[in-house]
Amino acid sequence: MDKINSNTRLFMKAVALFSTLCSIEFGSVVSASACTGISLTSADGCYIQARTIENAQEPLPSHWVVIPRGHKIQSFTPTGRNGLTFEAKYGVLGLTVVREEFIAEGINEEGLSAGLFFFPDYGSYQRYEPAHNATSLGDLQVVAWILASFSSIDQVKQAIDGVRIIGLDKSAVVHWRIGERSGRQVVMEIIDGQVHFYENTVGVITNSPDFMWHLTNLNNYVNLRPGSAPDFRLSHFTLRPLGGSSGMLGLPGDATPPSRFVRAAFFRATAPTQPTGEQTILQAFHLLNNFDVPIGIEHPEGKAPDMPSATQWTSAIDLTNRRVYYKTAYNNSIRCIDLAKIDFSRVKYQSHPLDREQRQPIKYLLVE
């Protein structure tokens, strides 16, 4: 019994740490989520989904995990690891946060990708009831369930009513992005216990409010244009642009979810199409560099933790070629894992830290 209680306490401690994801402390904890997702398609048809993930209070334990076919997974509930049990039909490569069971972003061998994004104050799941443990699926393991079980968005939609998605911590509500290599992408949100799917043709996701609110809010920026604004005669004065991209004057630059959604939508929409998937991956990283959150602006003066950035890691997944790329706050070198080189029928379950050493390598050049 003591061992069970100890494991449960460790689990709840991990969930509590996850609830700080995308949060900032100003005397008390104030939700200030900052995770940003975009999608791009290359000229040769490669479909890319990329995102950032933030934690502004302390380094976020993060790993990459390999789940082989046939691997059995049991969901946690608020009382321990006693929820839904399922077996991996498809091999999975995932990037995790806090615990190796909590996949925040990943892809399976069929090219289906999914990720979770913080969704405070707007999302609300079904109430947890121990009598329904056999069908209860913790919100932080929904991505693992999707990737291990399905090969298409429609399959997810058909199966979702067969599980009860429940919160592992009331302060860590999330919503999800699901994409397939056809280029189709949906946002899944649970509000008042009801699951909603939205086709995401704008190709962007952030955090609260709900997805449809963000789409409506885009209409407030109908005046923005790529390029420079023309000269404008105002009474006896002529107004002239002071620099390039003046057509984007008014684009919000802060780190709130509505502002990031608008900024990401315009950056994505105006980005030139790249010839290949690999070039599009690099473009995605460049675009998401604009959403890195400097640690200094997130805290009162003198209260910032010792971290290089609130943006803990950035990933870009090529759904067409089934490749996962990532970089971290500690090492901006881009690393890649190719699912085509993994035999999911033979590989063992494994978990590895995103950074074996939290240090940015620097190459010194010699001048002769």
Burial 185-219 (b: 16+ CB within 10 A, else e): bbbbbbeeeeeebbebebbbbbbbbbbeebbeebe
DSSP conformational letter for 357:
S
* Strand order from edge to edge, sheet including 37-41: 204-205, 37-41, 47-54, 311-318, 323-328, 335-338
pLDDT in the model for residue 13: 54
Place of tokens 């090969």: 151
- Residue 264's alpha-carbon distances to 60, 104, 167, 221, 295, in angstroms, are 24, 20, 29, 13, 20
pLDDT (tens place) for every residue of the chain, 368 residues total: 444 455 555 555 555 555 544 333 222 233 335 799 999 999 999 999 999 999 877 888 999 999 999 999 999 999 999 999 999 999 999 999 999 999 999 999 999 999 999 999 999 999 999 999 999 999 999 999 999 999 999 999 999 999 999 999 877 899 999 999 999 999 999 999 999 999 999 999 999 999 999 999 999 999 999 998 889 888 889 989 898 889 999 999 999 999 999 999 999 999 999 999 999 999 999 999 999 988 876 667 777 677 778 899 999 999 999 999 999 999 999 999 999 999 999 999 999 999 999 999 999 999 98
Q: Which residues contact 324 (CB under 8 A, 6 or more apart)?
A: 64, 93, 95, 106, 107, 315, 317, 318, 336, 337, 339
**Nearest-10 crossing angle of helices 257-270, 277-289:** 140
pLDDT in the model for residue 288: 98
Place of tokens 């999975």: 92
The residues that bridge with 311 in the sheet, in sequence order, are: 54
CA distance 333 to 316: 13
- What is the helix (H) or strand (E) element at residue 42, kind and residue range? none
pLDDT in the model for residue 3: 46
DSSP conformational letter for 349:
P
pLDDT in the model for residue 243: 87
Q: Which residues contact 115 (CB under 8 A, 6 or more apart)?
A: 37, 49, 51, 104, 105, 106, 143, 176, 177
Q: The whole model's pTM is what? A: 0.90
